[in-house]
């Protein structure tokens, strides 16, 4: 009887397909899952950084808005308007005896 020669590659391949299909499928599923986890973690980090940047921009805009409100209040104060009217336009307070009231009938 002549011993039968089998190719090692064929034996391994046949054995793998008989007993190794499920572990191979699980290995591929694990690798795909790991890639999705890494991608999701990276996107989460990018979105968190963008959110922090937007919060900083919001804070800067809030500070600028408050400063503009203060400036508006300072520029619109009655004492400033009165002082500018006297200094630049040479306006004076009118005495009640000098007032002229005009009534218009329409």
Mean of all residue pLDDT scores within the chain: 88
Q: Which of 19, 20, 23 is closest to 31 using CA atoms?
A: 23
pLDDT tens-digit series, residues 55-102 = 999 999 999 999 999 988 887 777 777 888 888 888 888 888 888 888
pLDDT confidence tier of residue 46, bands split at 50, 70 and 90: very high
pLDDT, residue 1, reads 61
Phi-psi region of 90 (alpha: psi -120 to 50; beta: other; left: phi over 0): left
pLDDT confidence tier of residue 45, bands split at 50, 70 and 90: very high
The predicted model gives 25-42 an average pLDDT of 96
* DSSP category for residue 99: -
pLDDT, residue 75, reads 77
| 30 vs 9, higher pLDDT | 30
pTM confidence score: 0.52
Do 85 and 91 contact (CB within 8 A), yes or no? yes
Burial pattern 24-33, b for ≥16 Cβ within 10 A else e, equals eeeeeeeeee
């Amino acid at each position: 009887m002549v011993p039968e020669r089998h190719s090692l590659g064929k034996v391994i391949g046949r054995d793998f397909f008989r007993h190794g299909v499920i572990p191979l499928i699980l290995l591929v599923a694990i690798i795909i899952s790991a890639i999705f986890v890494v991608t999701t973690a990276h996107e989460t980090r990018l979105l968190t950084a963008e959110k922090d940047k937007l919060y900083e921009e919001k804070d800067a805009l809030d500070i600028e808005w408050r400063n503009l409100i203060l400036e508006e209040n300072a520029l619109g104060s009655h004492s400033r308007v009165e002082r500018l009217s006297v200094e630049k336009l040479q306006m004076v307070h009118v005495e009640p005896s000098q007032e002229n009231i005009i009534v218009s009938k329409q």
